[in-house]
A and B are shown apart, each in its own frame.
Chain A
Amino acid sequence: MSEIVGPISVTILRREWTISSNIVHIEPLVSEVVTLCLEAGLSPRACRLNIPVAFTEALSNAIVCGNNEDEKRNVTAKFELDAASLTLEITDDGDGFDASAVNFSPADGNWLEREDGRGLFLMRSLMDRVELQRPTNGRVGHTVRLVLKRA
């Protein structure tokens, strides 16, 4: 005897933004994403710490390192939230950044003295998964995908 199972209802919230490569656009966009997350019931701590800091780092990398703050170049940010997780996908329009060159950790001897180089470490520490995707087929633009599981 077969059992007919009805479609599972899963609400997926999606948004997408394109901003020019100026750091002034970071805070308003981060604030908008945090508001969406709070309204969707993500944990207050994730909305205060993990999401804003990791998203700020990814946008900052895309604007400053990927696009060299060239305002003619854009950054796109995709937001997807479902019952299981939040995914933020940030894509620059330029040369991206060499993850191996900024892959610092507290185990490094000069970690406490360096002014920069903590961004990737923070993203990896605050999110459940961080994926770095290089462009293929001659395209430009690197993508950072941040995934945070819902508690």
Chain B
Amino acid sequence: MPFVLETAGDVVVVAVVGQLVVGNRQEFKQSVLDEVERGARRILVDFSETGYVDSSGLGALVSLNKRLRESGGELRLAALNEDMRTLFELTRLDTLFRLYASRAEALAQF
């Protein structure tokens, strides 16, 4: 299962298991959009079990961030490994998202 959705209070946590790439970004995006349609406004994406992300995966995150902001919500990201942090820094997307070291830290500050 590439994505695991859980609820922690009013935060929907989406864990990405494996990769977030061109082959599954649509499924990922739709999973989150379904939660937004159901009323979720705080989404946390947990990357602790993620291998790598390509430009399609990054694009999906950017798109969801925009959608949530328009709805008065927010998308935050947690537990990026060193390689993923490099990708976010290269693309400067570390300036767009709030990044947290762990799911617990992100939830505590959401």
Contact = CB atoms under 8 A, between A and B. Distances in A.
Interface of A: 23-24, 26-27, 45, 48-49, 52-53, 56-57, 60, 64, 106, 111-119, 121-122, 125-126
Given A119-B55, A121-B91, 20 more contacts: A24-B23, A26-B22, A45-B83, A48-B51, A49-B83, A49-B87, A53-B53, A60-B54, A60-B55, A106-B92, A111-B92, A112-B92, A112-B95, A114-B62, A115-B63, A116-B55, A118-B58, A119-B54, A122-B54, A122-B87
B52 interface: yes
B interface, over-half SS: helix
Nearest to A54: B54
B21 interface: yes
B36 interface: no
A57 B23 CA distance: 11
Contacts, number: 72
Interface residues of B, number: 25
A27 B83 contact: no
